[in-house]
Amino acid sequence: DPYRNEPRRHPALIVRSDKPFNGETPAELLVASPVTPNDMFFVRHHLPVPVIDNDKFTVTVEGAGMRSLQLSVQQLQQNFKKAQVAATVQCTGNRRTEMKAAPAPGGSGAQIKGLDWEVGAISNAEWGGVLLRDVLLAAGLQPGDASVQHIHLIGLDTDMTGTPYAASIPIDKALSEAGDVLLAWEMNGQPIPADHGGPLRVVVPGTTGARSVKWIGRIVASADECQGHWQQKDYKAFSPGTDWDAIDWSAAPAIQEMPVVSAICEPAEGAELSTYDGEVTIKGYAWSGGGRDIIRVDVSADGGKTWSPAKLSKHPHSRPSRAWAWTLYEATLPLPEGFKGQLQLACKATDQSYNTQPEDVSSIWNIRGLVNNAWHKVNVSVVE
């Protein structure tokens, strides 16, 4: 059994699959603290967790015209400047269940395939490590060298045929001084746990989780994008009208930055509120890709007919265009006077580019159930 060496996991993680392990953070725990505790951070694996001897571990950095470096975590710590970045990791499939619950637009009967994530395939941490940029430059990468367009990030986890998990990011993101791409060994002040890619992982802030390769074994500067499965045949979204048999994977680019998203974490779907309270407090998160800051979150207690702005709380390191960490929000809305029955709560966020979220999933529906950033709606009932 390739899964015989899996680490122990917190029983509160909501298991979406066992082998490989996939577990989501319960919504109410997401908003319980600005950074997600390491053992409650959502886990997204495609393969068994690799067994790594941390004392012998090195990462290889290489590419055309560069010298090949093999670096231990200790060498990274001793030879490079430490960088700390608060960054949210969000899976491209976060909130897929809502898209799955909606019929394929046009009644085609097309079926979404993918893990049943609710709102918790997202978490936030303070990562410590070195800038990937510094390591690439130390290996002799020449900025502006037109023969290098992509940085391949290759994990140590492999499938039955020995093929590793791998992804790539564009060279401009990897080399940007404001890109904050990390080779990280620290997560919330602790060594990164095995489930999150320890001893060393990549964190690509502002980019979908799939590119933040865990257990990083090899980094290769290349003219071409990574040709692996997860770069070419997954993590791409198509037109609502495209069914499985019509997919041309080469027709869409691999998802890197993500759109603006938000979710309600409290109250939970189906919660009962009392008319005597006269009000409802809504808590949740908002985040946008590419470092775009959240400038506003609007909440509604009538399914989106009327809206009020929520109070935002941002990570202290967060700044415009480098807002890698999520924004938590909270709002208290009055309940309609004397009202009893069903209410629909809704939220939507706006980022610094004034991008906002679509009203429902129909216009963004896609057969992989990716990048669902529709208004998040939660139905509650008001009782005596």
Which residues touch 109 (CB under 8 Å, ≥6 apart)? Answer: 103
Q: Which residue among 91, 183, 380, 382 contacts ligand MTE (CB under 6 A)?
A: 91
Q: Which is nearer to Mo ion, 230 or 238 (CB)?
A: 230
Site for ligand MTE in 345-374 (CB under 6 A): none
Structure tokens at 355: 């991008």
Round to whole Å and give the CA distance between 102 and 360.
Answer: 9
In whole angstroms, the minimum distance from the beta carbon of 45 to ligand MTE comes to 5
For residue 165, the partner it binds in ligand MTE, Mo ion, none, with Cβ less than 5 to 8 A by kind, is ligand MTE
Sheet bearing 279-287, strands edge to edge: 261-266, 279-287, 327-334, 311-314
In whole angstroms, the minimum distance from the beta carbon of 372 to ligand MTE comes to 14
Q: Is position 171 an interface residue for ligand MTE (rule: CB under 6 A)? A: no
Q: Which residue among 69, 213, 345, 364 contacts ligand MTE (CB under 6 A)?
A: 213
350 C-beta neighbours (distance < 10 Å), count? 20
Q: Is position 209 an interface residue for ligand MTE (rule: CB under 6 A)? A: yes
How many positions of this chain bind ligand MTE (CB under 6 A)? 19
For residue 376, the partner it binds in ligand MTE, Mo ion, none, with Cβ less than 5 to 8 A by kind, is none
In whole angstroms, the minimum distance from the beta carbon of 214 to ligand MTE comes to 4
Q: Is position 45 an interface residue for ligand MTE (rule: CB under 6 A)? A: yes
Structure tokens at 299: 């909440």
Q: Is position 165 an interface residue for ligand MTE (rule: CB under 6 A)? A: yes
Round to whole Å and give the CA distance between 368 and 359.
Answer: 20
Q: Is position 46 an interface residue for ligand MTE (rule: CB under 6 A)? A: yes
Q: Is position 155 an interface residue for ligand MTE (rule: CB under 6 A)? A: yes
Q: Which residue among 41, 127, 307, 375 contacts ligand MTE (CB under 6 A)?
A: 41
Q: Is position 260 an interface residue for ligand MTE (rule: CB under 6 A)? A: no
Q: Which residue among 196, 283, 376, 377 contacts ligand MTE (CB under 6 A)?
A: 196
Q: Is position 152 an interface residue for ligand MTE (rule: CB under 6 A)? A: no
In whole angstroms, the minimum distance from the beta carbon of 108 to ligand MTE comes to 27
**How far apart, in Å, are the Cα atoms of 93 and each of 90, 197, 238, 253?**
8, 19, 14, 16
Angle at 17 between CA 14 and CA 23, to 5 degrees: 35
Q: Is position 119 an interface residue for ligand MTE (rule: CB under 6 A)? A: no
Helix residue ranges, H only, the chain: 27-30, 73-79, 96-101, 132-138, 171-175, 229-232
Q: Give the footprint of Mo ion on this chain (CB under 5 A).
A: 44, 91, 209-210
Angle at 105 between CA 92 and CA 373, to 5 degrees: 30
Round to whole Å and give the CA distance between 280 and 84.
Answer: 37
For residue 317, the partner it binds in Mo ion, ligand MTE, none, with Cβ less than 5 to 8 A by kind, is none
Which residues touch 226 (CB under 8 Å, ≥6 apart)? Answer: 150, 152, 153, 166, 167, 168, 232
- For ligand MTE, the binding residues (CB under 6 A) are 41-47, 89, 91, 155, 157, 165, 196, 209-210, 212-215
